[in-house]
Amino acid sequence: MPWATKEVEEKESSKAWDIYIQKHEEVSKEIARDNVNSPSHYNADSGLECIEAIEAQLTPEEYRGFLKGNCVKYLWREKHKGGIESLEKAQWYLTRLIEREV
């Protein structure tokens, strides 16, 4: 029976593995986006995000420095910790800095 050959089994197994990997990558990207845009560990029970509390405590110039420093931090560590997620975080801080200038 041609459908019961080892070659067909290996092909089906490979296809199932490819589908699994694709789904895993999609879920990983979604988790990474959440960790970049709205990480749950930075949200207080009150709904106030840590970044908002930091901004409220700093002068505008200090806050700009904070944003720049975080851009540098995430770019610096990208190869050793975080990979793409670190680059996305750097981009997030840079976007916030740019928006303050508009």
- Residue 15, Cβ density class (10 Å: 0-12 exposed, 13-18 middle, ≥19 buried): exposed
Looking at residue 9, its pLDDT comes to 63
CA distances 11 to 8, 69, 83, Å, are 5, 50, 32
The tally of domains found in the chain comes to 1
pLDDT per position in the chain (102 positions), as tens? 555 666 666 666 677 777 777 776 666 666 555 677 766 655 656 678 888 899 999 999 999 999 999 999 999 999 998 899 999 999 999 999 999 876
d(CA 56, CA 51): 9
Quote the pLDDT of residue 33: 59
Residue 80 structural domain: 2-101
Which pTM does this prediction carry? Answer: 0.59
